[in-house]
Structure 1
Amino acid sequence: MNSIAVAFVHGVEIDDPGFAARPAAMLRAAFARAAGMSRTDADDALGVEAVNWAPHIEERQRELFARMYSEEGVRTFFDGQLARLVKRLNAGRALALAPLAGWLLLPFLPGIPGLRGRLGPRGPRYPGARWLMLHFGGDIIAYDRQRNEANYVAAHESLARALARLAEKAGDGAPLCVLAHSFGSVLVSDYVYDQQETPRGRKLALWSLRYPDATLDKPIDFHGPDIAGRRTACRANG
């Protein structure tokens, strides 16, 4: 059976290896309906791989949060309830949004040990909101190649390793479909530009905010096969 390789790339995110489980299941179900095949055949037709590039950057975020609060505070936030709530949201459990918002709106969490930082007995205000901004704003800041190339390279290495696993799973001849969310699309665009040995990011419209004098007339050179035709072949061979 002909296969299609699908890579899911998250945007700003916590370290959640299972972030793509729910969207992958929804994609397989929709593909099965569209191709007129069983879910088992759809699973065989789609080789799916999640690109989790958050871990390296999260290490630095944990260090910064420990400086604001404490090591115990890091475990409370990065390994505790807040992280679990985000993972539930990633899994499609919308009811987790209410308790997550409650955590973010609390100015202090005196009942939780380990949040007595260097700025007073309670530490900085709104630790939950600080944790959220540290994760989701910090990913963008840390990715800046001009400031810290190590983070940029680590994120690209995560993508490269995932694509290698995907090639083993779906086969070298499988067409590649990349589903990148939000800032993940910037990561993928940069990676493809680098592979094509063109100036990184300067032809991406978003970067016109940073490089106002850059020309934006050379898009990524993608020559993908006809996915609709490949879907028809999957149905015929299934």
Structure 2
Amino acid sequence: MSPGRSAPGEIDRFLGAAKQLAPLATGQAGRLVFALDATMSRQPTWDLACSLQARMFEVAATSGGLAVQLVYFRGLGECRASGWVGEPRRLNGLMGAIACQGGQTQIARVLKHIRDEAKSVPIRAFVLVGDAMEEDVDALAALAGELGLRGIRGFLFQEGHDPAASAAFATMARLTGGAHARFDVNAPDSLLDLLRGAAAYAAGGREAMLKLAGGSPAVRGLLGAMDGGRR
């Protein structure tokens, strides 16, 4: 097996678990696509996201609940999505079974998946966590614009200061009416607050974010970015 490819058994286990989880998220819970770059450089952030994801559900519980779909990309053209998950323990189980592998970014595939998924279920927002950009920004902008027209807000959370990633993430955030923010993997609360803000929006919209903003500069920053993108 070449280094960039997944073991067939691992893929089968992921898809089997995803299929079983699909019926869990029903009712009026807000829907959030949680997309993660799982290329090799992302392992520390993947582990951090695993440890924090339950807090997204906690903050959303007071605003109608949350259903999350995990999407990840890695390796040689691998990009996969789970079913809709309504329990943090089950999402953590899926994430814990996935290891990061070398490869290039596949953000266009993520955005296309969100667009297609939104044709069958209502999606309020998506989160993309990454640190790199290796794609045609104009193509990504066109896809982000489509999502923005559908009312799907993008929260683009960037580790590090790569200028190409910063420019592309900011463009996608602006075109969806969402927000771009940086975080430090060595300061877990920085990503936690950002995820809580996105989850609040997915569950209860702007009003839910406003309730968090008083005690969170990060959430206030997201709101400011969203307001600035509308000008």
Q: Same fold (TM over 0.5)?
A: no
Pick the structure with more strand per residue.
2
TM range, normalised to the smaller chain? Answer: 0.3 to 0.5
Structure 2 length as normaliser, TM-score?
Answer: 0.34
Structure 1 length as normaliser, TM-score?
Answer: 0.33
Question: Which structure has the higher relative contact order (CA within 8 Å, separation 6+)?
Answer: 1
